[in-house]
Structure 1
Amino acid sequence: MSRAWQQPWAFQLAADQGWIPGKDPHPSLERPLFSWFSELPAASSEESPIWVEYTREHSPTGIERLRLTLRHDRMIGSRDCAALTIDRFVDDARSESRELLIDRTQFQAGQSPAKCLVWTDAKVTAAQQQADLALFRGLPLLKEYSPGPERYTKLPLRTDAFACQRVAAQCDHTPAIGIPKLRYRSDLWLSPEIPFGTARFELTISDPHTSEIQQREIWVASGSHPPVAPMSPVTIEMFDSSTPIVTQLRQ
Structure 2
Amino acid sequence: MQVICPQCGEPVLAENINIQRMAAVCPACHTVFQFDPSVPTSKIKQRKMKQPPQITADETDNGDLKIAFRTNFQLDSNEAVIVSVVFSGILTFMTLIMAAAAAKAPIFPLGFGFFTLIMYYIVALQVYNQTHIEINDEQITVSRKPLPNVFSQLNTVSLSGIQNIRYEETPASKKEGYDTPRYHVWAEMVDGNRKLIVGDLIEDYAIFVTQRLNEQLNPDTNPDVAHLLDNEAEIEDGQAADELITPSKARHN
TM-score > 0.5 by shorter chain: no
Q: Which has the higher contact order (CA 8 A, sep 6+)?
A: 2
Larger radius of gyration: 2
| Larger strand share, 1 or 2 | 1
Shorter-chain TM-score bucket reads under 0.3
